[in-house]
Every structure is written in C-alpha cells, then in structure tokens.
Amino acid sequence: MTNMFETAHAFTAQWEGGLTDHPADPGGLTNYGVSLRWVQDLARQARQECLRQHKTCDDCPNARTASCAYCGLDLDMDGDVDADDIRACTRAQAAALFKRHFWNALGCAALPLPLAVTLYDGAVNMGPGRAVRQMQRGMNAVGEAQLDHYTPIAEDGIPGSRTTELAEALESANLHWFAARQILRLRDAFYRDLAARRPSLKVFLDGWRNRVKALAQYLADLEREAN
C-alpha cells in the first residue's frame, strides 16, 4: 500500500518541475521545487547550529556524510552549497529534502490524510510557517462551527500537540475532508492577496490558483477512494 508521504508527494511532484530561473521568483534558481535561496538558508542554519553546539567536523560522526545537516545539502558533493547543487538536484533528492524538512519536521504523518496532504503541499509551495498557520486557522473555523466540544488552538505556525488533537477531533467527527477544503480556500485567498500586494508576482497567480484547484480535485478523488 502506498504510504501517506508517497500519496502527498505524488501530487506535489506534478507541480514542481525541472530547472527554472524566473526573474520574478524570489527563490532564485529552482529545480524540482528545490530553490537556491531555500537550500542556502538551510545550510546557514546548519552551520549556525554547529557553532551553537561548539561542534566541529573533526569530532562529528556525521561529518562529510549525507547525515550531516550541511553536507546533505551539498548535492554535487563538492564541499559547498551553491547554484551547482540546484542544477545537480534529482527528483529523488528533492523528494528526500522535502520529506525531511517539511513532512517530517511538521509531523504530517500524525495528521489525517487530507490535512497531511494539504499541509505538505502548502509548505513546499509557500513555506512551512504560513502553511501551518493556514491549517490552524481553517481547523479553528470548522471546529468552532461544527464541533460540540471545541477549544481554539493558537494560529502560530507551530504544529504542536494541540494542533494534532484538533485534527484528530475533526477526523472523529468526519470533518477532516471538509477542513482541508476550508484550508484550500484560505490558501487561494492568500495567493490573490499576495499578487495584489506584490504586482511582480502576478505572473505566478494563475499557476498558484490552478494548483489549489487541482489539489481540491486530488483530495476529492482520495475521499471517494476512502469511502
């Protein structure tokens, strides 16, 4: 049976194509959804964490291996993280990076399927913090309107235990598919607002909205299969 990550990534991979370098894209050079800006941010964070813990490569068992947070981003294995790593990125490497930094980091596996799929794709496309906040906001709206016993959760972009508990409550009430659709409405509204505020990004608006519509259809297909 296909696992939840594979189900989620099967959709996302359709929308994250090959090598692009659109002048209006703030992520810069991108390959299979992996952007230069993102991997360099991750590389800086990895270096800073090593410095914070007073770690050096000489005493680290993961040094110069794929288990190293920094070296795992050095996709062409030449000792640095730059545009050449984006050009060298494969579909499999992109999927592995997304699984580690989005699926695993956000605890998607603990969520009901439609919420996990929606959160994962949103995190890949617009960043994890915003995707989590949209999910929390959407679940709060459904919980307040539909659940008999409901306590609102913080819309802070942090996927903690309270977020998971509300997701489980929605699933128990068979509201998890409906909540996912509500989250997609918030995502569509965000894209429209972003394009209005930043005209340089209007070139991406139709693609963003088509992705949301396609995800809504993908979830509808999954719901039919589940019932």
- Encoded amino acid at 169, one letter: A
Q: Which of 63, 13, 69, 3 is nearest to 39 (CA)?
A: 69
Name the residue ranges covered by the structural domains of the chain. Answer: 21-89, 108-226
- Quick check: 38 and 16 in contact, CB under 8 A? no
Chain centre distance of CA 138? 16
Return the minimum-mean-pLDDT range out of 53-62, 184-193, 215-224.
53-62
According to DSSP, residue 160 is labeled -
Q: What is the pLDDT of residue 148?
A: 94
**Residue 183 to residues 130, 204, 215, 226, Cα–Cα distance (Å):** 11, 20, 11, 20
Between CA 58 and CA 60 the distance in angstroms is: 6
Cα-only R_g, the chain: 19
User: With a threshold of 0.75, does the pTM exceed it?
Assistant: yes
Q: Which of 33, 144, 125, 205 is nearest to 155 (CA)?
A: 144
Residues 106-153 have pLDDT tens digits of 999 999 999 999 999 999 999 999 999 999 999 999 999 999 999 999
Buried b (16+ CB within 10 A) or exposed e, 13-33: bebbeeebeeeebebbbbbbb
- Residue 35, classed as helix, strand or coil, is strand
Q: What is the pLDDT of residue 1?
A: 37
For residue 179 the two structure tokens come to 């909540």
Between CA 142 and CA 154 the distance in angstroms is: 14
